[in-house]
Amino acid sequence: MPSKLIESTMRTENLPHIWCPGCGHGILMRDVAQAIDNLGLDHDKVVIVSGIGCSSRAAGYMDFNTLHTTHGRAIAFATGVKLANPELTVIVITGDGDAAAIGGNHFIHACRRNIDITVVVFNNNIYGMTGGQYSPTTPTGEKGTTAPYGNIDYDFDLPELAKAAGATFTGRCTAYHVPQAIKLLEAAIQNKGLSMVEGLSVCPTYYGRKNKKGGVIKMYNWQKNNCIDVKKAEKMDPEELEGKILMGEFYHKEKPEYCEQYEAIIEKCGGNK
Amino acid sequence: MDKKRFRFVQGNEACVEGALTAGMRFYSGYPITPSTEIAEQSAIRLPQLGGHFIQMEDEIGGIAAALGASAAGVKAMTATSGPGFSLKQENIGYGCLAEIPIVVVDVQRSGPSTGMPTSPSQGDVMQARWGTHGDHPMIAIAPSSVQDTYNQTVRCFNLAEKYRTPVILLMDEIIGHLREGLEVIPAEELEIVNRGDHNITGMAYAVGEGEYVPEFAPFGEGERYNITGLFHNDAGFPTNDNDFTDKIEHRLMAKIEQNLDDILDWEEYMLDDAEYAIVAYGGTVRAAKGAIEKLRAEGVKVGLFRPVTVWPFPEEAMKKVADKVKAVVVAEHNYGQLLLEVERVIKDRAELSFVGKVDGTTLKPEDIQAKVKEVL
């Protein structure tokens, strides 16, 4: 029996999902649904926009207005949805390849505009849907089917990238730390502006196998033992933080939002009569 | 004289006025010569009417945001020229399969590649039909004057809404930058097609028996459905069912093919007694009409067949013209693109000849006149 949350936020007729056993995407999708539910948003007024890849299949399972777009373009489609009807709550679910490689331009420019969209990047460190090629977040030195001798690219720090580009809310959560993820997503959705949350996923099938990460349980345990809340990290020594990944709310700043500013232009032009 | 109604403007501006009359309230695009005035004018005019303009970070974002706005229930347009038209192709196909109405304006310029950005061309005719991958329906309309640009832009929106598909306004630099008189005919005096009310069914893509176009459910109004570029079932969810895929592909093609009487448009000029026919569209029509005037003065019975809907091509009308003339001369600003379609349609009904221009200058009436004289 599906839980009450699943009944009310998922299209149960389309479940079970297509993700591999042990994949973190299902957990992150549930976290997004729980955050929406906790905020009490009207489901008819929520739009989930996704691109192409493993992450982007989430849209089809979620019982909201869902737009499964072309590869890399989710944020650009979402920009049109939001500006055309600012009353809608627009959440983009995208992946590391979708958001940071093919869709990188839309990603940074949406941040720059500070348009009221929440971008959740399900980061599995690999192109999963196409079978394990290295992505912009595959750590340097690690392997993918197209990096058989080790990846020589440097990987993106997505929340840093978003902040530098102008996003007004950034953070990171993991598939392991569920309550923390839900809280972070709630705050991100509530921010009036561009919010970017990186959700560290787990890809045992491709990333894990290619890089000998030791299987599903070991990969989740790695997240458990190596991801430190940013507030806790403040009190820790640099040596203790060696090799650790920070999570939690990184950045939150008030700045005029794009749609509100456009409404002021309409007002000025007399277009609201 | 009513100065708001009667104006002296360029084609690009007429396009924006036509779009606004048709109900466009969202424009997203990227600057590119020779279409930029469409973006500039939209940026001025849209907020005055409570609409939204956004300059996106690239051409792909331009069409993507327009599709998103349309999904949210607002009539949307984007405009571009050759290089940008190439970049938009993937999302034109998305609009075809996801059945999202938008208008895409292509003010053609010389190509390939960056080509000659300020020079006229009609080199995107085949790209307009087949530029996006996969089998898909297509409507593309080529206006041939400033007034026609206004009227045809309205028609593009109407067809996009009626058939839930991207419609291409296939302009060219000649018409985009041409300044002529324009009568801004108000919406009340025109047929404007708007989206009807949608009944929530849970089957957003279902059609009734003998129907081809599902009614559109805008986001935010209760029909919480899925829009996708994957083949999908009636509820909008991805499917690998081959029978269903076959059914939806046929329906997408049929919604155009079964409605040709409603969609097709062409102009016949001085063809009643013609022994020779010139086929021209868009900006080339003007040179063709000049050639006809000169040839008629010399006693040559020649007329014009002008496809207004370049796609779908007015096949039966073209055949009838070919049946009664000795020769057909296709004139276009390219290496011979619509020529291929005319050839396919008329077969051996009449002799076929071609006059084109690919040096960035315009075809002159004399060029077409000379070609017709060759086939006399």
Range B288-292 average pLDDT: 98
Residues A22-36 pLDDT 10s: 999 999 999 999 999
Chain-chain contact of A83 with B69 (C-beta, under 8 angstroms): yes
Q: Would you state the structure tokens that stand for residue B280, as one six-digit string?
A: 């021209």
Q: What is the pLDDT of residue A1?
A: 73
Radius of gyration of chain A (CA): 18
Top residue of A85, A257, A268 to mutate, by most chain B CBs within 10 Å, is A85
Range B201-212 average pLDDT: 92
Domains within chain B, CATH numbers bracketed: 6-189 (3.40.50.970), 267-375 (3.40.50.920)
Range A171-191 average pLDDT: 98
| CA-based nearest residue in chain B for residue A66 | B226
Range B112-140 average pLDDT: 97
| Mean pLDDT of the residues in chain B | 97
| CA-based nearest residue in chain A for residue B77 | A80
Domain locations in chain A as residue ranges: 4-269
On whether the CB atoms of residues A81 and A67 are closer than 8 A, the answer is yes
**A contacts of B58 (beta carbons < 8 Å):** 105
Amino acid, res. B31: P
**Alpha carbon separation from B322 to A16, B69, B370 (Å, rounded):** 59, 44, 20
Top residue of A68, A117, A273 to mutate, by most chain B CBs within 10 Å, is A68
Residues B80-93 pLDDT 10s: 999 999 999 999 99
Residues B214-246 pLDDT 10s: 999 999 999 999 999 999 999 999 999 999 999
Residues B327-373 pLDDT 10s: 999 999 999 999 999 999 999 999 999 999 999 999 999 999 999 99
With 90 as the cut, is the pLDDT of residue B6 above it? yes
With 80 as the cut, is the pLDDT of residue B206 above it? yes
Chain-chain contact of A85 with B73 (C-beta, under 8 angstroms): yes
For residues A169 and B192, what is the distance between their CA atoms, to the nearest angstrom? Answer: 43
CA distance B68 to chain A (A): 4
Q: What is the pLDDT of residue A148?
A: 98
Q: Binning pLDDT at 50, 70 and 90, where does residue B197 land?
A: confident
With 90 as the cut, is the pLDDT of residue A151 above it? yes
Q: What is the pLDDT of residue B306?
A: 98
b/e per residue, A157-181, with b = 16+ CB within 10 A?
ebbebbbebbbbbbbbbbbbbeebb
CATH class of this structure's domain A4-269: alpha beta
Q: Which residues contact A5 (CB under 8 A, 6 or more apart)?
A: A30, A33, A34, A37
| Mean pLDDT of the residues in chain A | 97
Q: Is the ipTM of this complex over 0.85?
A: yes
Q: Provide the percentage of residues in chain B whose pLDDT is more than 70.
A: 100
Range B184-194 average pLDDT: 98
- CA–chain centroid gap for B195, Å, is 20
Total Cβ atoms within 10 A of residue A59: 26
Q: What is the pLDDT of residue A2?
A: 84
Chain-chain contact of A76 with B221 (C-beta, under 8 angstroms): no
Q: What is the pLDDT of residue A73?
A: 98
Range B8-19 average pLDDT: 98
The verdict on pTM exceeding 0.90 is yes
Q: Binning pLDDT at 50, 70 and 90, where does residue A115 land?
A: very high
Q: What is the pLDDT of residue B121?
A: 97
Q: Which residues of A touch B (CB under 8 A)?
A: 11, 14, 43-45, 47, 49, 59-60, 63-70, 72-73, 76-85, 87-88, 105-106, 108-109, 262, 265-266, 268-273
CA distance B48 to chain A (A): 4
Chain-chain contact of A43 with B224 (C-beta, under 8 angstroms): yes
**A contacts of B97 (beta carbons < 8 Å):** none
**A contacts of B25 (beta carbons < 8 Å):** 84
Chain-chain contact of A80 with B51 (C-beta, under 8 angstroms): no
Q: What is the pLDDT of residue B196?
A: 82
Residues A132-149 pLDDT 10s: 999 999 999 999 999 999
With 90 as the cut, is the pLDDT of residue B199 above it? no
Range A174-186 average pLDDT: 98
With 80 as the cut, is the pLDDT of residue B284 above it? yes
Q: Which residues of B touch A (CB under 8 A)?
A: 25-26, 28, 46-52, 54, 56-58, 60-61, 64-74, 76, 90-91, 94, 219-222, 224-230, 237-238
Chain-chain contact of A66 with B224 (C-beta, under 8 angstroms): yes
Closest CA to B172 of B53, B277, B82: B82
Top residue of B44, B104, B228, B232 to mutate, by most chain A CBs within 10 Å, is B228
**B contacts of A59 (beta carbons < 8 Å):** 226, 228
CA distance B225 to chain A (A): 6
Question: Could you tell me where the DSSP H helices lie in chain A?
Answer: 4-9, 25-38, 58-61, 74-84, 96-97, 104-113, 158-165, 178-190, 209-210, 216-226, 230-233, 258-269
Q: What is the pLDDT of residue A121?
A: 98
